[in-house]
Structure 1
Amino acid sequence: MLVTAAPDILEERLRERGMHSRFEHEGSSHAETALYQETTGPLTEDGLDLLEYTTGHEPPQAVASTIADHPYQSKGLITRKPSPWT
């Protein structure tokens, strides 16, 4: 499963929460999104059943709920683990 958002939304989120690693810097979201797009093609061409979920300005709880309620969840293909932060 690939969970992402438009680069500008990702940049906004990074500015709001702060950069946490050497890979997060101004403009890194554009490069990250491009790499995801570049990678998903060959993966799906090789037969990987890739779920891509593009978020907008949805709150994290709504995104998590949508993923947890996905039909793959009922097939056991997506496992729900307790969050260490709750």
Structure 2
Amino acid sequence: MASTFELETLNMRLGAADLQPLDLHQRIQRALRALILEGALAPGLKLPASRVLAGSLGVARDTVENAYVHLHRDGFITRREGS
């Protein structure tokens, strides 16, 4: 289990063929969800801020924010504003 966020792991997951037909925010959301379910992202791990992850992935912040909103709604992550 990783105790720090690994961008390379997420990038590998985003390249999966089964995610390619989906919208980008859905690909990010499903990739993160899969990593959580597999235990690759440990409970309590702090994910990067949406602005930081968007910059790292080269996508719009709204794309990452939308993925985070869905993960939060489905109970996969908790969110704290401003942290």
Q: Which has the higher helix share?
A: 2
TM-score under structure 1 normalisation? 0.31
- TM-score, normalising length: structure 2: 0.32
State the structure with more CA Rg. Answer: 1
Higher relative contact order (CA 8 A, sep 6+): 1
